Amino acid sequence: MPWFAFLVIGEVNMLSQKQIAIITTGGTISSVSTAEGIKPQEGVIEDVLERLGYSRNGDSFVSNNGRVKLDIFKLFNKDSTDIVVEDRMTIARKAMELMKTYDGLVITHGTDSLEQTSYDLSLWLQHPTKTVALTGSFKISGEDKSDALGNLKEAITFACEGVCGVFVVFHGTVLEGCWAYEHIVPYMIENEAIRTFRSIRGEVAFFNDSGVFFTKGRPESRPQEQEPRLELKYNKNIVHISPPITIALLEDSAKNADGIIINATASSGVPKQILPVLKGIAKEKPVLSTPNYYIMSTDLYATANNLRKNGVTPGTPLPKFDREAFAFVLGVLERKPIDPKIVRDRFNCIVEENIRRSSLYRIQKEYAPSFRINHGKVDSGLCVAAQGAVRKPTPKTSDKKLKLG
């Protein structure tokens, strides 16, 4: 082979090399076992990358085939139960900044609040132009049968796919960030509860030994109608109340709050004598009701329907997402007083927009549940996908993609 051919091959490899940014925030995936218990520690992610076969190249890591280059950006090293909204805003700012120069982003995060961060990023990162893949682990990387190595490897692989949006990559599946939730499998294996992440709209993709397979065809890159922007809005002046609810508690909560969230309304009783008081408050302040379990429609219960009839905004089958979306809407509507009807309309629009932008809604209608907001009423037909048993079509040779890592 002529000497100049090596130069050409080298140039082609550099041109096709994917530049991926890894944003680390702590969590179990960044932790080690100490005398005080499991604790986040510096250098753990770098060790995991080396165990995955990535080689150090200065401050970066490069895959064996040279097709992936990783740069690590350390924001903080926290247990995810200690992550607050200001930390999530820091993650969002960094993600927006790195989106301009990298082909994809991976965010390592603790599992206890990973879904909450994925919801906020889905709301705050408007019209993202790159893949943002959140991942973590339920076991530290040094333990037997740890999921840390597999999850990080798959998150990097998916970040190279060029599918715009916020996703959760966990245990061999890819889920849209605005619909993912933590799930505990209702049986034990070797005396351990099995935890994972699922989505009420099914999987976007899954992994096997041959690479990434999209469950119903690869989503096409959406034409960007608007430039990507950061919409960091969040109102923390919200009171959360749970049954049993008294008139005194309700009136006291409404005094200084910008909004009220009534938790666990699906099966818990709200006394009828409270409804007239609640109706009066809902005319002046926005009130949201949420279910007490994931994958539950509040329409099933008379309690929730009575709340709706009295001016309360109904939630979706994802209560944590409801709370983040509610805080986002109140943050956007900065003027005071806040019109409850506008809040209700904006909240419903966010849910509908997430569905419209969903790759599953566009290309996977026969797999995903019917889920829409109609005149303030949640209509959710939860199918097999909601139970985590999404059909996986037999991969075709033409669908295969080689792994880049």
> Can you spell out the DSSP letters for 39-95?
EE-TTHHHHHHHHTT-EEETTEEE-TTS-EEEEEEEEEEE-GGG--HHHHHHHHHHH
Q: Tell me: do 259 and 360 sit in the same domain.
A: yes
Residue 389 lies in a domain: no
pLDDT (0 to 100) of residue 268: 53
In a domain, 387, yes or no: no
Decide if 118 contacts 151 (C-beta within 8 A).
no
Which pLDDT does position 269 carry in this prediction?
A: 59
How many angstroms separate the CA atoms of 26 and 344, rounded? 36
Reference 180, options 188, 171, 191, 192; nearest CA is: 171
Q: Which DSSP string corresponds to 135-150?
A: E--SS-TTSTT-SHHH
Are 296 and 196 part of one and the same domain?
A: no
What's 310's domain CATH number?
3.40.50.40
Residues 194 and 253 in one domain: no
Q: Does 118 lie in the same domain as 34?
A: yes
Strand-by-strand arrangement of the 68-78 sheet: 55-57, 60-62, 68-78, 18-26, 104-108, 131-135, 165-170, 173-176, 205-208, 211-214
pLDDT score of 314: 83
Q: What is the CATH number of the domain that holds 58?
A: 3.40.50.1170
185 and 52 share a domain?
A: yes
205 and 287 belong to one structural domain = no
Q: Are residues 321 and 369 in the same domain?
A: yes
Number of structural domains, the chain?
A: 2
In a domain, 316, yes or no: yes
Low-confidence ranges of the chain (pLDDT < 50): 1, 3-14, 267, 360-405
Q: Same domain for 178 and 316?
A: no
Phi and psi, residue 80, nearest 5°: -70, -15
In angstroms and rounded to an integer, the radius of gyration of the C-alpha atoms of the chain is 23
Could you read off the pLDDT of 40-86 as tens digits, one per residue?
889 999 999 999 999 999 999 999 999 999 999 999 999 999 999 99
Shared-domain flag, residues 315 and 197 = no
Q: Select from 166, 184, 215 the last residue of a domain.
A: 215
User: Given this model, what pLDDT does residue 362 score?
Assistant: 45
What's the N-to-C CA distance of the chain in angstroms? Answer: 27
Range of the domain at 328: 238-381
pLDDT at 244: 79
Residue 226 lies in a domain: no
How many CB atoms within 10 Å of residue 364?
Answer: 21
Q: Does residue 80 fall inside a structural domain?
A: yes
**Each residue of 297-349: pLDDT tens digit?**
566 667 677 778 888 888 877 888 889 999 999 999 877 788 999 999 999 88
208 and 248 in a common domain? no
Query: Is 83 inside a domain boundary?
Result: yes
259 and 197 in a single domain? The answer is: no
The residue written with tokens 């680390």 in the block is 24
Clarify whether residues 274 and 360 are in a common domain. yes
d(CA 203, CA 152): 18
233 inside domain: no
Q: For residue 313, which phi and psi values (nearest 5 degrees)?
A: -75, 125
Helices 85-98 & 114-124 angle (0-180, nearest 10): 60
Q: Given its phi and psi angles, is residue 276 left (phi above 0), alpha (psi -120 to 50 degrees) or beta? A: alpha
- Give domain status of residue 246, yes or no: yes
Is the CB of residue 152 less than 8 Å from the CB of residue 163?
A: no
